[in-house]
Chain A
């Protein structure tokens, strides 16, 4: 019953989305205010019904309704209730429904928080979002209906959720990622609306920026959670594998990062307009591509894709319509938006141009490496995989360049930067950062590796030049505190995000250069020393979880060379215990490695059980990873920066004068001064 209700609500949501896609847009073309006015109520209705549908699927999972094929394939009566809920988005059909729900949520948010926008603009934006929703509903209803029944012989129990997905990280990772993916649909819809209207100005950029920032922050959090999950759950201790699934989320992030920067130029200087629109289209197209790459099974096998031709054909057609259609519209209309102003090669806009070029090149590199094996397989060039060396070969130098350019670019002024001031800007950081990098490595007691020095220097350079910029901009006749208070949220957001990049870069550099990783054979009672830590293999015992049986190892960890002890003397007190597990899930018989980690700001101690080798011996993975937490700390700072910038006051002006956007362009030639002026 619940399932039928959900199915019915889904069909209703589809109908409302269809109306939302057509009526408001038709209203803008025929100038009928009544039709234009339907955009908001239709968005609300669509959201309500897709929410009901989603609620029904959750209910079916919680109630163990195994007569539903999707529930039977992805859940089990032994599963704890929170994993039953998260199992809703554990596979293809349910994650599409989550996608649609989040899209409806963003649509609703746009409908609610767009009072300051002209009605026809809102109508266009919501119409475009409706069109995207229609595509998703059609896909779900025709090829991937989560409410399909297994009648008349439903199974007694479900096949269980993949044990890898039974984890807190995987409860929140997909929703966050989808919030990001789908959030770019707002920027995309604004872009299409601008093309349809043939109007794009600073006001447009100002409307689009907070939405794009919010989506981008969610995506950042989503990627970071995925990486964190891979680190502790996959049992390999890596944090990024250049796996196609990861690349699928990195590509829209790169496009989105380029977009938020390009939007800044479009808002402040009215430049790069067509480019901004193109990036908005690109970011969302890549989000769609990412969703489908991961969820359609095309990555695991091109043939799996071909064995279910309806899904495959629909996906290709949908991608074709969205990407092809929007690019066609772009080709036809973008010339009407033309920007005529020119810019100096030594200015913030030029810095952002460099940022965009680097990001797009990185994006192209990732795209090629991800799709090449698929293309090769389809064309019969053989079965190929593109390994991490390819990605690292490009990503490392490009990332380094990006970090180096970032500091200077962000400290430059709009319009034109004097060469003298530039020199004074870079002098101190240029001298200090390599010296500090060397000092850092020496103090930590590590060997001086060129790669580590380069990475650390770049990160310190970015940090110093960013902090110096804050120092200079917060100068004030009264006191430093007043000066700091004068800086607006946009600026703080940028500073925090850029410092986050520096923290991330430090984490990546130190972890990849100074990790100590050992795969060893250990008999109970033996110990091993890794990077100054001793790990004593104490025991293995059997423990029971809600839906699994585990062999739980116990490791005593102590500091080698601590008072009164050396490697041979194990009498010293261990400072912590680690209990990695080897689990066997009862429903499927799947084996799972559950690593145990002692985390810290400066190092992680990581132990995972491999397999029993007989005679009380186990293969054991023991890693000491310095500064690895900085990677995720940096990622969180980046996301936080995006959020803070999205809350800048100027995005919340109740009325925007659409006709004279040039006023704001001129007065904000130096945004910080402009804000200071406004407030005084």
Chain B
């Protein structure tokens, strides 16, 4: 083999070995670090693993936000129209966090069935509903055969959408 060619072969082998290593590591790291999204209904049905980092989301239930008197601990309920989930959080809630608005939380499900969030995200702006939440609401609607509950979920979803138009709503 010509030296130049031999060297090229070496380079190729070098790159292939590195690439294989990287792909292996990448897929390992991806498996360890992806956060799956679950809806409150899925959690109520016991589909979500506990003590593993996941994401949940839904509409914050009206009058469910409670704050501790002497710390930043707070808790609230999120709903997808058919089930609700209790979320505990310690920290500053985002600017656009509000009751009857969409929120997504990252954290883990405790053994008692409550969700402990490390991070809570709300909408970016008035018009935006996190796609996961919109989807979750839609799923809830699809699932419910009962007209009444479908109506409730439908209302909640419509409300999110109509919020965009309702710009007079007071902040605090």
B30 touches A390 (CB 8 A): yes
Q: Is the CB of B172 within 8 A of A384?
A: no
Partner of A343, one of B7, B167, B169: B7
Interface string of A377-402 (1 = CB under 8 A from B): 00000111111011001100000000
Q: Check A383 against B95 for contact (C-beta < 8 Å).
A: no
B55 close to A385 (CB less than 8 A): yes
A589 CB–B CB distance under 8 Å: yes
Q: Which residues of A contact B32 (CB under 8 A)?
A: 389-390
**What is the interface of chain A mostly: helix, strand, loop, or mixed?**
mixed
Given A353-B11, A394-B25, A587-B167: A621 and B33 interface contact (C-beta under 8 Å)? no
Query: Which residue in chain B gives the minimum CB-CB distance to A368?
Result: B26
Decide if B37 touches A385 in the complex (CB within 8 Å): yes
Chain A residues, Cβ within 8 Å of B145: none
Which of A559-567, A605-613, A637-645 is found at the contact surface with chain B? A605-613
Give the distance in Å from the alpha carbon of A298 to the alpha carbon of B72 in the complex. 35
Complex Cα spacing A372 to B25, Å = 15
Contact B71 A361 (CB under 8 A): no
Whether B112 sits at the interface, judged by CB under 8 Å, is no
**Chain A minimum-CB-distance residue to B131:** A301
Contact B7–A342 (Cβ < 8 Å): yes
Question: Measured between alpha carbons, how far is A612 from B95 in the docked complex, in Å?
Answer: 11
Q: Does A114 contact B (CB under 8 A)?
A: no
Contact status of A383 and B37, CB under 8 A, knowing A301-B131, A592-B95, A611-B92 = yes
B142 to chain A, nearest CB (A): 15
Distance from B130 Cβ to chain A, minimum over Cβ atoms (Å): 8
Centre residue among A369, A611, A621 by max chain B CB count within 10 A? A611
Kindly provide the distance from the CB of B101 to the nearest chain A CB, expressed in whole angstroms: 11
Verify if B156 is at the interface (C-beta below 8 Å from A): no
Q: Is the CB of A619 within 8 A of B37?
A: no
Q: Which residues of A contact B147 (CB under 8 A)?
A: none
**Residues B170 and A589 in contact, CB atoms below 8 Å apart:** yes
| Chain B interface size, under 10 / 10 to 19 / 20 to 34 / 35 or more | 35 or more
Instruction: State whether the Cβ of B62 lies closer than 8 Å to any Cβ in chain A.
Output: no
Residues of B close to A468: CB separation below 8 A: none
Q: Is B100 an interface residue (CB 8 A)?
A: no
Per-residue CB proximity of B6-46 to A under 8 Å, as 1/0?
01000100110011001001100110111111000000000
Within the complex, what minimum Cβ distance (angstroms) separates B67 from chain A?
6
Check if A384 sits within 8 Å of B36, measured CB to CB: yes
Given contacts A368-B30, A384-B36, A389-B33, contact A588 B55 (CB under 8 A): no
Is B152 on the interface with A (CB-CB < 8 A)?
Answer: no
- Residues of chain B within 8 A (CB-CB) of A612 are 172
Q: How far is the CA of A361 from the CA of B23 in the complex (A)?
A: 9
Nearest CB on B from A311, distance (A): 17
The residue of chain B having its C-beta at the shortest distance from the C-beta of A611 within the complex is B93
Contact between A384 and B37, CB atoms less than 8 A apart: yes
State in angstroms the CA–CA spacing of A368 and B26 once bound together: 8
Assuming the contacts A368-B30, A591-B171, asked whether A610 and B92 have C-beta atoms less than 8 A apart, the reply is yes
- Closest A residue to B138 by CB, please name it: A303
Closest A residue to B132 by CB, please name it.
Answer: A383
Q: Are B30 and A611 in contact (CB under 8 A)?
A: no
B96 within 8 A of A: yes
Of listed B3, B125, B132, residue having the most chain A CB within 10 A = B125
Q: Are B96 and A393 in contact (CB under 8 A)?
A: no
B112, chain A: closest CB distance, angstroms? 24
In the complex, B135 has a CB within 8 A of chain A: yes
Residues of B within 8 A of A470 (CB): none
Residue of B with least CB distance to A593: B95
Does B126 sit within 8 A of A, measured CB to CB? yes
Cβ–Cβ < 8 Å partners of B125 in chain A: 162, 164, 588, 590
Question: For residues 284 through 342 of chain A, which have their beta carbon under 8 Å from a beta carbon of chain B?
Answer: 300-304, 340-342
Interface bits A335-357 vs B (CB < 8 Å: 1, else 0): 00000111100000000010001
Determine whether the beta carbon of B36 is less than 8 Å from that of A387.
no
Q: Is A584 an interface residue (CB 8 A)?
A: yes
Q: State the CA gap A610–B72 with chains docked (Å).
A: 10
Judged by a CB distance under 8 angstroms, whether A519 is at the interface is yes
Q: A587 CA to B26 CA in the complex, in Å?
A: 46
A–B complex contacts, Cβ < 8 Å, 28 sampled = A159-B167, A300-B128, A301-B134, A343-B7, A353-B11, A357-B18, A364-B22, A365-B26, A382-B37, A384-B36, A385-B34, A385-B106, A389-B33, A390-B33, A520-B72, A521-B70, A521-B72, A584-B172, A587-B167, A588-B125, A588-B167, A589-B126, A589-B168, A590-B125, A590-B126, A591-B171, A612-B172, A619-B72
B binding-site residues for A, Cβ under 8 Å: 3-4, 7, 11, 14-15, 18-19, 22, 25-26, 29-30, 32-37, 53, 55, 67, 70-72, 91-93, 95-96, 106, 124-126, 128, 131-132, 134-135, 167-172
Beyond A386-B35, A592-B95, 6 additional contacts (C-beta under 8 Å) are A300-B128, A372-B30, A383-B37, A588-B125, A610-B93, A611-B93
